Amino acid sequence: MKGFYLSHINKSMNLVRNNHHVVYRLNPNEGQGTASVYSVLPGVEVIIFNFQANHYMPTLHPNLNILELNHCFKGRAECKMKDGCLQYIGEGDLFMNMMSNHSDRIEFPLGYYKGINITIDLDKFTDKLSEYIPDIPIDIPDLVNRYFSNDECFFIQAKKGIQHIFSGMYSIPVEARETYYRLKVLEILIYLHYFDTTKEQQKKFYAQQQVEIIKQIKKKITEQFEQRFTIDELARQYCISPTALKATFKGVYGVSIGAYMKEYRIRKAASMLLQTQESIGEIASTIGYKSQSKFGAAFKEMYKISPLEYRSKYDKE
C-alpha cells in the first residue's frame, strides 16, 4: 500500500507566516484549501489540512525515513497503491505509512477534506523520545517494524480511542496549539505502543478499473439527478454486477448510492431555494421528488428546518 500525505507542502501553495505556525494556501485555480504547519518537537510536525477541492498534489520530501500518521476528520481521501489498486481513508480513520510509500496525487471523492497529518522524522526524533516519556520504553524502530511488518501502511479504523485523541486537536485555540499538539503526539505514540495490531482488520482496496466505472456512474447520476436510476439498470449499462456496484460505490464515497443521491438532491434543492424564485413544489419536482411532503421531510431531516424556513432564513445573506 502507499501513503498519501507529505510534510513537504505542494510548491503551488502560497505561504503565509503567523506567530505560531505557517499556513500554505492552495492555488485558487485548484480549489480552496489550507495546510497549517506546526513544529511541536524535534523532527515532528503537525499539519492541519482543510480543503474544498477535488484533488491535491503534494511534493515528495527528500528524507524518506519519516513516519506519517493521518487522521481524517471530515470527507474522504483516495490513495493509489503501487499495484494500481485504490485505498480510501474515511471519517475517523487513522492511516499510517512511511514517507517512502508516498503518493503524488490525492483525490477527494466528496470534494472536501479536513484532517490532521503528523510527520515524525525518525533520524531526528528517535533518540529524543525518552526525554519526553522516560517511564514508558517506546522503541520507535520496533514500533515501525511492528506496524509495517506485513505491508507498507496500516489502517486503524474509526474507534473511540482514536476519536478521543484527535477530536480536540481541531478546535483548540491557535495560541495553545503548539503545546497541546506536543502533548497529543506523545499520547498518540503511547496509544500505538500498546495497540494490538493483530486484532485490527485492514481495509479492503479496490481495482482502479472498477473504481473508474463507479466514478462514471456517479457522474451520470449526478448530472441527471432529476432521474431515479435503479441499481440493476446501472449495473447492466456499465457491465458490472449489482453487488460489486454497491460495494465499490460505498467504498469510494463512504455511503450507499441511495444515501449519496438523497443528500446530493437535497443540497441541490437548498441551492435552488436561494438562487431561484421557484416554488417549493417546483423545486421538489425538479430534483426528482413526486411528493412535496416527502421532499419537505427529507429536507428537514438534513437541515433541521423546512425548505420555506431555510429560504426565509438564508435568502438575505
pTM: 0.83
The continuous run of DSSP H or E covering 182 comes out as helix 174-194
| Ranges assigned E (strand) in 126-232 | 153-156
The continuous run of DSSP H or E covering 189 comes out as helix 174-194
Residues of the chain with pLDDT under 50: 1-8, 11
| C-beta neighbour count of 80 within 10 angstroms | 20
| pLDDT of the residue at 64 | 78
| pLDDT of the residue at 3 | 43
| pLDDT of the residue at 81 | 72
Alpha carbon of 269 to those of 25, 125, 188, 196, 286: distances in Å? 31, 51, 42, 46, 9
| pLDDT of the residue at 10 | 53
Residue 260 — φ and ψ, nearest 5°?
Answer: -65, -45
Distance CA 66, CA 121 (A): 4
| C-beta neighbour count of 162 within 10 angstroms | 18
Distance CA 279, CA 126 (A): 63
| pLDDT of the residue at 313 | 87
